Structure 1
Amino acid sequence: MSLAADPILRPSSFFRRILRSPSAVVGGVIVCLMLAVALLAPWIAPYDPNLQETANRLMPPSTAHWLGTDAFGRDQLSRLIFGARPTLLLVLFVVLLMAPIGIVVGILAGYFGGLTERVLMRVTDIVMSFPRLLLAFAFVAIMGPGLFNGALALSLTSWPAYARQARVETAALRRSDYLAAAEMVGIKGIRLLWGHVLPLVLPSAVIRLALDLSGIILAAAGLGFLGLGVRPPTAEWGSMVAGGTQVIFDQWWIAAAPGLAILIASLGFNLIADGLRDILDPRHD
């Protein structure tokens, strides 16, 4: 069995079901708009996001600066537009690192069992026993601030949930007639795990990943808020919120604009997750 053989996951059927899910459509539109803004930032931003004009510092929203300016006189709208780039890049790095690590560990533990399972699951339990955000902050503090370091820290502290889920599903599959039949026709080793176990474990991992994306955005904003994200003066939503908190009672728009962007991005990924759950999880048909 493969992903293409599943009628739910067949591309034509999959996209038809997405279009029938209002939450997936709305979330997809929000995320696509974010991607378009990030890609077209140099062409749609009205100003250089790092251009400082101290004469125009802390200006309220106006026709010249639609979202006002910050404490250094930088245009808030331009920084908000460019700030989508590090946020989406960090989410992409975390997705590419976190889910594969957890799925591989879970499949190996669930399929081989015995000593392999005990060792891998004990490591998983140790990592899972620490508060995820605190551990991520500690990693970044040790490795230094930066986009890749932040993504690496979040990935190294978030994979255990995927490993535990994949192990449970793989252990159930190991005793199934489906894998027994595949082994009888000579399919073994990596070929069996890649072509027959992974496609059956992947849908639930995709659902969990979609549900975790909004949390990843909030964690990335938290790193930026604490000064552990991208290095200044690069525009980043979390650091913009941190800068706005110093003058939030008088110039509220400085923190409100990036905070609203974080909210909308989290909402978009949550809506996509709801739609994917309806499509991929048979219990929500």
Structure 2
Amino acid sequence: MSLDLAADAVIQSRTGVLEGLRRSPTALVGVILLAIFLGAAALAPLIAPYDPIAQDMANRLAAPSWSHWLGTDGFGRDLLSRLIFGTRPTLGLIVLVTLASLPFGLLIGVVAGAFGGWIERILMRLTDIGMAFPRLALALAFVAVFGPGMVNGAVALAITGWPAYARLARTEASVIRHADFIAAAEMGGIRGWRLLFGHILPLVLPSALVRMALDMAGIILATAGLGFIGLGVQPPTPDWGGMVADGTKVIFDQWWIAAAPGCAILLASLSFNLIADGLRDILDPRHD
């Protein structure tokens, strides 16, 4: 019987997701765009037409053609291949930053909102300190001290990323803790961490997921900014920000070198923004 109930729950959850995507075309478009980038990252060695770091100085700065669909850069490297392989460090950094900032921010915010009092005041003052640091400025300082690279950039972005989740979770948890069903759960003997993670956290997650999707678009821009100034992923590894920086040197004559990675950054950011907008419509019960 329990297996039947579990199967029914899985079917209902899948039906709910499909129905939500049907009601939100923006989310569907965002999911399709993101799936394309994820597929490119996973299948890069199979679908890339050339080695992304192989140089061909005899064919440098070539215009788009049938042999090189997006042209070549100043070292004769195929831009399409570098664009495909460039999805890997970008998406990898998004995962690192999200895994580091989202759980920590949710924990701080839910604990502050659920318990209140001096615990809330201390945690929220720590959150205010974290929000006082500009994300990109702190990332630049952190990378300048500890050296360029994807891991250092991810740590720097995560340090300034968790306060937003903490504030959001604290606001919703402080409202939820006064709800009637929370009082009923406490009367039934459910208290402490069991109440926190079993009843309050699930209700905070929908808003946090929307915020996470929006933050992912900002992480892409921050990653591209670090790569543009040479503090992100180091050459010869393909990086969208670094590719844009290389293209700006010849932008008036060979515009496609900067345009190709710029469009990739735009579409990747757009996909997460569309997903965030769709998630808000799907997860918010006030939207039918």
Normalization by structure 1: what TM-score?
0.93
Output the amino acid matched with 1:66. Answer: W
2:286 and 2:160 mapped to 1: Cα distance? 29
What is the CA–CA distance in structure 2 between the aligned matches of 1:273 and 1:127, rounded to whole Å?
A: 24
Choose from 13, 20, 25 the match for 2:23: 20
Paired position in structure 1 for 2:53: 50
Shift of 1:204: 0.7
Q: Alpha-carbon deviations, 1:52-71, whole Å to 9, x = none? A: 11111111112221111111
Aligned to 2:242: 239
Note closer, same or farther for the CA distance 1:284–1:141 as it changes in structure 2 (3 Å cut).
farther
Q: 1: CA distance between counterparts of 2:182 and 2:82? A: 53
Q: Does 1:216 align with 2:184?
A: no
Q: 1:265 deviation in Å? A: 0.9
CA distance in 2, matches of 1:219, 1:228: 11
Task: Give the corresponding residue for 2:134.
Answer: 131
Alignment-derived partner of residue 62 in structure 2: 59
| Aligned position for 1:229 | 232
Distance 2:146 2:286 in 1: 42
Name the aligned partner's letter for residue 102 of structure 2. A
For the pair 1:152 / 2:152, whether they are aligned, the reply is no
- The code of the aligned residue for 1:214 comes to A
Q: Could you tell me how far apart the structure 2 residues matched to 1:62 and 1:173 are? A: 59
Q: CA deviation at 1:20?
A: 2.5
- Deviation for aligned residue 1:86: 0.7
What residue in structure 2 maps to residue 250 of structure 1? 253
Structure 1 residue aligned with 2:3:
none
CA distance in 2, matches of 1:60, 1:177: 66
User: How many Å separate the matches in 2 of 1:175 and 1:269?
Assistant: 33
- Whichever residue aligns with residue 158 of structure 1, its letter is G
Q: Give, as a single letter, the amino acid of the residue that structure 2 aligns with 1:111.
A: A
Letter in 1 for 2:37: M
CA distance in 1, matches of 2:125, 2:142: 21
Secondary structure at the counterpart of residue 149 of structure 1: helix
Partner residue in 2 for 1:105:
108
1:268 aligned partner:
271
> Deviation per CA, 1:91-134, whole angstroms, max 9, x where unpaired?
11112112111111101111222221111111111111222221
Mark the runs of 5 or more structure 2 residues left unpaired by the alignment: 1-5
Where does residue 167 of structure 1 map in the other structure?
170
SS of alignment partner, residue 86 of structure 2: helix
State the alpha-carbon separation in 2 of the partners of residues 145 and 183 from structure 1. 50
Amino acid paired to 1:153: A
Corresponding position of 1:279:
282
Matches within 5 A, 1:86-125: 86-125=89-128
Deviations 1:224-277 (A, max 9, x none): 111111121100101100111111111111100000111111111111111111
- Relative to the length of structure 2, the TM-score reads 0.92
Rounded to whole Å, the distance in 2 between the matches of 1:233 and 1:44 is 19
Q: Distance in 2 between matches of 1:81 and 1:172?
A: 45
Residue 160 of structure 2 aligns to a residue whose secondary structure is helix
Q: CA deviation at 1:207?
A: 1.1
Quote the Cα distance in structure 2 between the aligned partners of 1:124 and 1:134: 18
Q: Deviations over 1:28-51 (max 9, x none)?
A: 111001111111100110110000
